[in-house]
Structure 1
Amino acid sequence: MAVRAERPDPHTAVMRELLVRYLDAWTPAVLRSHRRATYVETVPDDFATSALRVFGEFADRLTGHQLDVVILGSLTTALTELGAAPGLSLRSVADPADLTVTGPVLAHLDVGAGALDEPTAWRLVASLGPGKAREVLLALPPAAADEVTEYRTRLRAAGLPYAVTVELADDDRRVRLLLFATSSDKHLATFKNELWAADEFAGIRYRDPRDAEHSLVDISLTPQLLPLRRALLDELARRGTCTVADLQHHTLHETIYRPADTVGVLTSAASSGAITREPAKGRLSPRTVVSRRP
C-alpha cells in the first residue's frame, strides 16, 4: 500500500517562499554597500536551510565580505555543511539574550515554529531594531486590528518605522500574521513586490488586518484592488485634496498594496466619478491633484 505524502503546511510554504524571494534581493544589496552583515534565523530546519542555499548562490559576491548567520537553536550537520562556504560565518545561540550582531541585520522571527515565544520575539525586535539597516520578518498568531496598530507602534519605537502587516489565510480559515519592518522605504517597496509575486499554489490568500471588511485577496501580480479603493477613498475624504504621490505614499506605508497599484485605483475612481482630478485629462502622474467628490 502506497504511503500518502503529508501535505505541506500552506502558511509555511508561502512564508518560506517570501523569505527566499526577499533574501534574493537583500543579499546582493547589503553586500554591495557593506563589508559585513548578519542574518538571524529562529527556525533551524527548513528556513535556515533555505536561507543558506540562497547565500550560497552569491558566493562570488561574498569575496572580501563577511555574512554572519546566527541560528537560535542547535546546528545540524546539514546546516554546518551549507554554512561552510567562504565568506559565511555560521554559529548557534541557545539563549536569545546572548545574541550579538554586527552591521546590517535581517532577522526572521517565527513565533510558533521552534521554541520562540512572543515575549522573547518582541525583546529581540527591541534589541535588534536600533542600528543602521536593521530589518525583521516576524510571524505571529492572528491579532485584532487594534493589536496590529500597537505592534506597528512597537516597531517604530524599536527604530523600524516602515512596516507592512498582512494576514495569511488558508482554505481552512487558519490565519497567521506576517509583519515585515525596516528602516528603509526602498526595502519596504521591495518586500511588497515579492509579497505579490509569490506563487499561488499553496492555497493562501492575503488580508489586511486593518481592513474593516476583512476582504480576502488572491495572491497575484495584478491583485483585486477593492480593499485599496476603500482605503484610498477614506484617506482622500480625510484629507480633502492631495496629490497622487501623497496617496502612493499612503499605499506604501499603510496598506498591503504597492504604490503602483494606486494609479489603477484612482484611474477607475475618476472614470466612475467618485473623485475629481486636476488636470482633468491625460494620464495620472504623481503631481496630479485629486479630490473626493462630495
Structure 2
Amino acid sequence: MAGQAERRDPHATVKRELLVRYLDAWTAAVTRSHRNATYIESALGGPAADALRVFGEFADRLSGHQLDVVLLGAPAETLAPVLRELGEPPGVAVHSVSEPDSLVVEGPALAHLDVVGESVLDEEATWRLADELARAKAREVLLTVPPATAGKVDEHRARLRSAGLSYVVAVELVDNEDHGQLLMFATSARKHLATFKDELWAVDEFAGVRYRDPGDDEGALVDISLTPQLTPLRRMLLAELARRGSCGVADLQEHTLLRTIYRPAEALRVLQSAASAGAISRKPEKGRLTPRTVVASA
C-alpha cells in the first residue's frame, strides 16, 4: 500500500528521496563535528521512519554521540518497530513534543517541516518554528509549503535570512498534472547548500516531477537530471547581467548559488557559451573563462 501511495503522489517520492540523500550527508557531518544533534519531524507517517533508518546506517559512528529524533504531535512509540528493526542503535533516541512552541533544542538541528502533506503544523506555526530554530548555530530547515509567486518566495528567503540562515534555495516541484509544491532549504553553512543542490539534481529523474525555478520569469519546467537543462539559468544570468551592466564571473556564480536552483559550475558553462555566441562581452577577450573574468552585456 505504501508503494502505491508513493506512485500516486510523485511529490512524496521526490521529497522522500531528497530527504534521505541529504540526511546521509548531514549525519556524516554532525557525527564528525558534534557530540549531540537533533532531527525534527512535523509530517505524520513515513519521513521519520526514513530518517531513523538513515541514522541506523551510522550506528558504528554513534559511540559517544547522541542523536535525537523529535516527533511533533506524534507519539514516540510509533517508531518503536523501526528502532527494533535497526537493533536499537546506541546514541539514537526518539522523543515526542505535543506543543511545538515548547520545543527546546541544543546543538545542531535539522528540521523537516512539511505543511502540504499531513502535518501537525499549519503554515503560520511552521514559519514561527523555523524562525525560532534558526536563531542558534548549526541549524537547518527543509520546508515544504504551498506554491507562491516570485515576490512571495523572496519574502520567504528574507525571513529565513533575517533569522540567521544565510543560504537558501527554493524550488517548485511540479507533477505531470501541473500541481506544485514549494520546497525550501535554508542553512547557515555555504558548503551544506552546495551539498543540498547536488542532491537536488541526483534524485530519480523518472519520479514524475520536474523543477521550476521561482526566479525564472518564464516559469520553464526542467527535468531532473545530473546534467540539467540550462536554458532557464542562461535567461536568468543574462537578465542579472543586464541589470548590473558588467561584473565578474565570480559574482554571477555567487548569484547562481544564492538565487537559483543551479550551481556555480553551471553558471560558468552558461557564461562561456554566451561569450562564444557573442551574447555577452568579456575581458580579457580570449582564453579560458574563469571566475576572475569580467563580463558585460553585449
TM-score (norm 1): 0.95
The 1-side partners of 2:94 and 2:252 are apart by 43
Say yes or no: does 1:286 pair with 2:296: no
Instruction: Show structure 1 runs of 5+ residues with no match.
Output: none
Q: Is the 8 A contact 1:23 1:54 kept in 2?
A: yes
Q: State the percentage of identical aligned residues.
A: 63
Q: Is the 8 A contact 2:76 2:95 kept in 1?
A: no
Q: Is the 8 A contact 2:249 2:290 kept in 1?
A: yes
Match in the other structure for 2:50 = 50
Match in the other structure for 1:106 = 110
The 1-side partners of 2:280 and 2:202 are apart by 30
**SS of aligned partner of 2:70:** strand
Match in the other structure for 2:21 = 21
Q: Is the 8 A contact 1:44 1:75 kept in 2?
A: no
Match in the other structure for 1:40 = 40
Of the three residues 190, 198, 201, the one matched with 1:196 is 201
Match in the other structure for 1:181 = 186
**SS of aligned partner of 1:92:** strand
Count matched residues.
Answer: 290
Match in the other structure for 2:68 = 68
Match in the other structure for 2:96 = 92
* Residues 1:233 and 1:90: Cα distance change in structure 2 (over 3 Å): same
* One-letter identity of the residue aligned with 1:182: T
Deviation at 1:77, TM superposition (A): 4.7
Report 1:257-272 matches (<5 A).
257-272=262-277
Of the three residues 169, 172, 197, the one matched with 1:167 is 172
The 2-side partners of 1:173 and 1:96 are apart by 33
Q: Is the 8 A contact 2:44 2:120 kept in 1?
A: no
Q: Is the 8 A contact 1:166 1:178 kept in 2?
A: yes
* One-letter identity of the residue aligned with 1:74: A
Deviation at 1:5, TM superposition (A): 4.7
* One-letter identity of the residue aligned with 2:218: E
Q: Is the 8 A contact 2:69 2:93 kept in 1?
A: yes
* One-letter identity of the residue aligned with 2:95: R
The 2-side partners of 1:267 and 1:151 are apart by 32
* Residues 1:115 and 1:78: Cα distance change in structure 2 (over 3 Å): closer
Of the three residues 143, 158, 168, the one matched with 1:153 is 158
**SS of aligned partner of 1:102:** coil
* One-letter identity of the residue aligned with 2:12: T
Instruction: Show structure 2 runs of 5+ residues with no match.
Output: none
TM-score (norm 2): 0.94
Match in the other structure for 2:249 = 244
